[in-house]
A = this chain, B = another copy of it.
């Protein structure tokens, strides 16, 4: 695991990893019990989200997709309002209209979340163009999957951002799956960086299950974007250890591959490091987990108490 820069506390990252896992588990359990809709969980990919988001600045803007819980929580979104959104309730970040798949929180700089896979890639250059023309300092971090990288928008977006010198940090979370299709059945190359190299921009990849490594790699790529005003591509190699969308029995998943990645669970890796470094004890870890669980339990309660929007809201906000 790479060096964590002193200003960021690994313990803080660990807590975020735990929070995301607890949040996703609440949905797994809630949906299994029929109390919530299923979602595309980020279980197994927590380090990718936490490492990348923590490398960004408050002024930076984030575009994400259907598998966004990690990005939102790491950015400081309230799990209660997120769960309310998942459940289609009035207190959701999008008034219950988004559901889990397109949660945006403009106040946190999480803008234009889309579940059209590849849509985030189409929108990112324009967001960056507005940043630049308004002389605003933040860069634009665009999170997308290996699946999105197969859409034509990947090519169009990278070409335009490179051509127009737009400050977009493309962060591809390559989790080896595109819904029910393995990356190998969809990509002519092993990695998205193989394609990205053609655009004349800095490309790099990183072990996505090592939160410190992701943090460092993202910092470095973000610094390149900030300094050059040009795009960069970072590929975060990780694995979707639960199914595509809850519930999913993963009957189609190669058991050995799954086992290999489960053995490198990002949360376990981080905890082991904290324990090894003496930054936390077993009992402190347990207490932290309990605190996180309590926070999520409160969030669930908040969301469940939130009412459904009224039918009059059906046609509000369609037009500005």
Contact = CB atoms under 8 A, between A and B. Distances in A.
Contacts of A158: 188
Interface in A145-160: 150-156, 158-160
B199 A188 contact: yes
A194 B198 contact: yes
A245 interface: no
A81 to B, nearest CB: 35
Interface string A184-209: 01111100001111111100000000
Contact of A198 (B153, B163, B186, B195): B195
Interface in A27-57: none
Nearest to A160: B188
A162 interface: yes
B150 A156 contact: yes
Interface string A163-200: 10000000000000000000001111100001111111
Contact of A163 (B156, B162, B186, B194): B186
A152 B150 contact: no
A187 B159 CA distance: 7
A204 to B, nearest CB: 15
Contacts of A187: 159, 163
A97 to B, nearest CB: 29
A152 B119 CA distance: 12
Contacts of A152: 151-156
Given A150-B159, A163-B188, 14 more contacts: A150-B156, A152-B155, A155-B155, A155-B195, A163-B187, A188-B199, A188-B201, A189-B200, A194-B198, A195-B198, A196-B198, A197-B197, A197-B198, A198-B198
30 contacts: A150-B159, A151-B152, A151-B156, A152-B152, A152-B153, A152-B154, A152-B155, A152-B156, A154-B155, A155-B155, A155-B195, A158-B188, A159-B187, A159-B188, A160-B188, A163-B185, A163-B186, A163-B187, A163-B188, A188-B199, A188-B200, A188-B201, A189-B199, A189-B200, A194-B198, A194-B200, A195-B199, A197-B197, A197-B198, A198-B198
